[in-house]
Chains A and B, each alone.
Chain A
């Protein structure tokens, strides 16, 4: 029998099945239609008819081979486990260093610290009231970065910089240089992305491209870009939008790098992505696979990338936060576990699992360990990480993968047609609408959330059962005093002449549109603070202009 004849046979049998199913379903009027997050029907059954026309070698191939649908590594997790990279960030560099070292002792394998370069002013500034150490670590100067890395081998661990602060990046490199580590040995990622709009006089976009350029020339193992569509996904958008925005963000970096004369096979291998893991388990697994295939095809077919490493879409996953609930918060452990499993089955390179108490505060040490254990259990106790792309070949997963790629491609084309400024506004408008619709669906009960709109429980009952969150992380208001003392010590001890010279050099480089990374390194090495640097650079082009242009993102800019 030919393939076509076989399909016709299946089609006939399926028609028979569907007739029966319709009769059967009519007895269950409560059965509601379900849709994917991007609005297409999610069927109750997928069959060979849903993947007809697919071609194994063309669409799936083998792990590590084009079009990378089945994963970026030929041996999957058996050769290279994903990095267990829980986000850490609290208090001053001392508190964060302490927790980080504890997590590393407990089996964490990557460095990821939040809050670095978060604020554009010093700890002693009145604008830093109440923020110091409550939403991440606080960094004023290189002295804090030295403390942050104390007892941590910078050559052994991959370092993830959350945020895109060039000053922080320069501090990390300076600390490595002080330790005598050749840049070629450093491995890490900066959450840098070139925003639509790219380069121009006095634009922040310049610095994003500077980082890309600097890494391409000096840091062969550093991921110069980490496109975060997770930020937007967390507003409530769909998986299709997450994919399209990832691709769009990645292309902004690629185009900016090409415009500076960097070869596609130099820039592309170090573009990485930062994705979410949401409630829709099957769709999420398909999402990672679809994204990988789309990126590979874009790099090879559109940009003519020849180096197979240029085709690889490598990504970090932080599990969903928007799905976690303040009600019956212990349940969040289960939610995050399911999210994490989707990321593993989707082939993530690195992961951070949100803690159950993060809806209320920074996680306690116990909650952070529990998140790390979630990853370790999936890795060591289950068989999920043994077989490569184990859901590949499932009619459902393959059909969803193709649908996501098609829909994602349409949206990407739409964004590209719009042009930079409009696309950016469009993305955020879509995100805000989606967030509102999602919250409405939760409020009305249309979207079931256990403990929130069904199976609710009074707080007293939760507590009586021992299902409450228990101890919550408490903010320590003395951290600010401690940090101010650290900053004062640095300012007392630093060489004033060197500081002045570095300031002058930095402003000159900024005005002349030189690549900012080296001058920034010189500046931070004199222990100039981030607050001082921002003030200096804002003096050149005006902070207001930057603020208007980037709105909410201002404090991540330097």
Chain B
């Protein structure tokens, strides 16, 4: 039996500032026993770099100012190039409702919009056991 690995969650943001939700979510996940790595304000290529270095299971992408479809699509592309398709992307923030199906079609696991409950976010992350990089 291998020891159960702690879920690793990289939290990143599309722009600086407006960080309330970012830190609130970080704390909620930490309290729930998830290892949260604060990646801060990053470009998709930087996120992927950090995800590889930190060997994370999730990237949580806080989107405030950017057009979600454009930046998420770029992030997915970069993950694929790096062979990190197993990293589950979760998006939260100012996301138009009509974008949700489009983001999910790109491979986003879940989208949390304003009004989301912390318990729902935690339950989602805990409920999706991390897939290890080596498994088929």
Contact = CB atoms under 8 A, between A and B. Distances in A.
Interface in B62-83: 64-71, 74
A77 to B, nearest CB: 31
B14 A552 contact: no
Q: Give the residue among A126, A130, A431, A556 with the most B Cβ atoms within 10 A.
A: A130
A435 interface: yes
Nearest to A554: B16
B67 A475 contact: yes
A443 B118 contact: yes
Contact of B23 (A432, A440, A443, A556): A432
A234 B20 contact: yes
Contacts of A553: 16-17
B86 interface: no
Contact of B71 (A130, A439, A554): A130
A359 interface: yes
Given A235-B19, A556-B17, A436 B96 contact: no
A436 B28 contact: yes
Given A360-B96, A552-B16, A235 B113 contact: no
A236 interface: yes
Given A135-B64, A360-B94, A436-B28, A552 B70 contact: no
Contact of A326 (B13, B68, B113): B113
A439 B20 CA distance: 10
Nearest to B117: A443
A443 B119 contact: yes
B119 A131 contact: no
Interface residues of A, number: 40
B43 interface: yes
A475 B26 CA distance: 28
Given A129-B74, A360-B114, A236 B20 contact: yes
Contacts of A136: 65
Q: Give the residue among B13, B17, B113 with the most A Cβ atoms within 10 A.
A: B17
A326 B23 contact: no
B114 A131 contact: no
Contacts of B28: 436, 439
A129 B66 contact: yes
Contacts of B16: 551-556
B19 A130 contact: no
A326 B70 contact: no
A253 interface: no
A327 B117 CA distance: 12
Nearest to A439: B24
A49 interface: no
Contacts of A234: 20
Nearest to A552: B16
B31 to A, nearest CB: 8
B115 A134 contact: no
Interface residues of B, number: 32
Q: Give the residue among B14, B41, B43, B67 with the most A Cβ atoms within 10 A.
A: B67
B118 to A, nearest CB: 5
Contact of A129 (B26, B71, B94): B71
Interface in B22-78: 23-24, 26-28, 40-41, 43, 64-71, 74
B15 A555 contact: yes
Contacts of B94: 360-361
Given A436-B28, A477-B70, A554 B119 contact: no
A127 B66 contact: no
Contacts of B70: 129-130, 477
Contact of A127 (B27, B43, B96, B117): B43
Interface string A352-363: 000000011100
A477 B114 contact: no
Contacts of A130: 14, 66-71
Interface string B112-127: 0111011100000000
Q: Give the residue among B24, B26, B64, B96 with the most A Cβ atoms within 10 A.
A: B24
A134 B63 CA distance: 11
Contacts of A551: 16, 40-41
B118 A440 contact: yes
Interface in A539-558: 551-556
B14 to A, nearest CB: 7
A361 B67 CA distance: 11
Contacts of A552: 13, 16-17, 19, 40-41
B51 to A, nearest CB: 18
Interface string A314-350: 0000000010011100000000000000000000000
Interface of B: 13-17, 19-20, 23-24, 26-28, 40-41, 43, 64-71, 74, 94, 96, 113-115, 117-119
Give 7 nearest A-B pairs by CB, closest first. Answer: A135-B65, A130-B67, A130-B70, A326-B115, A326-B114, A130-B66, A552-B16
Interface of A: 118-119, 126-127, 129-131, 134-136, 231, 234-236, 322, 325-327, 359-361, 431-433, 435-436, 439-440, 443, 452, 472, 474-475, 477, 551-556
17 contacts: A127-B43, A129-B70, A130-B67, A130-B71, A135-B65, A136-B65, A359-B114, A431-B23, A436-B23, A436-B27, A440-B118, A551-B16, A551-B40, A552-B13, A552-B16, A553-B17, A554-B16
